[in-house]
Chains A and B, each alone.
Chain A
Amino acid sequence: ETGVTQTPRHLVMGMTNKKSLKCEQHLGHNAMYWYKQSAKKPLELMFVYNFKEQTENNSVPSRFSPECPNSSHLFLHLHTLQPEDSALYLCASSQTGQGSGYTFGSGTRLTVV
């Protein structure tokens, strides 16, 4: 375990469903991130939260809605997704300003049918 826990590990949802991905870190980090990883493409940064405030939204469609209630928890709410949204969604955390790396969770493999 890396200290960053993502649930669920796998998710299959229909295009009209509403679901949420959860990420939790117990590392005391102040920043959390959502990344999308699709086949043959670089990891795409979706959202950044710093001290639970959103500091970056990388032109992500509104069908993805993040929520960060505190520095340890991060959610990604999903609504009316498209098949092309099927991907591995990775959560990460870091301590900013210390020049250290990110700690990633194991990801949620999402399939939209």
Chain B
Amino acid sequence: SQQGEEDPQALSIQEGENATMNCSYKTSINNLQWYRQNSGRGLVHLILIRSNEREKHSGRLRVTLDTSKKSSSLLITASRAADTASYFCATVTGANSKLTFGKGITLSVRP
């Protein structure tokens, strides 16, 4: 069953602009993760935020987590054409490490 749901489904921005992608989920989580996928390739792990954390940074990436609203956002600052990809949020619930993914967001960054 789908746990994470990303919003918007597609996003097109100009190079240099910031990109904000949102994810909502349904049940309590242990952690939430964001992945990136270039067309037809495997997923690359970007960042993980634990349920007791509210914000994390990694380079140009900033992730926030609001457990009261069951939502997360991924911000990519100063976007580049090379950031064009699909982005997925995924959640880990329960005692196991099983990841459940959303459908993903297609980000296009125009040069």
Interface residues of A (CB under 8 A from B): 2, 4, 6, 31, 40-43, 45, 48, 55-56, 88, 90, 92, 94, 96-97, 99-107, 109
* Chain A residue at minimal CB-CB distance from B38: A106
Number of contacts between A and B (CB, 8 Å)? 59
* Chain A residue at minimal CB-CB distance from B102: A42
Specify which of B2, B45, B50 is in contact with A42 (CB 8 Å cutoff). Answer: B2
- Tell me whether A94 and B97 are in contact (CB under 8 A): yes
B contact residues around A103 at 8 Å (CB) = 45
Query: 18 A-B residue contacts at CB 8 Å?
Result: A2-B44, A4-B42, A43-B43, A43-B88, A45-B98, A45-B99, A45-B100, A48-B96, A48-B98, A55-B96, A92-B43, A99-B50, A99-B92, A102-B43, A102-B45, A103-B45, A106-B42, A109-B40
Interface residues of B (CB under 8 A from A): 2, 30-31, 33, 35, 40-45, 48, 50, 88, 92, 96-104
Instruction: Knowing A41-B103, A42-B103, say if A96 contacts B96 (CB, 8 Å).
Output: yes
Instruction: Knowing A48-B98, A99-B31, say if A90 contacts B43 (CB, 8 Å).
Output: yes
B58 to chain A minimum Cβ distance, whole angstroms, is 12
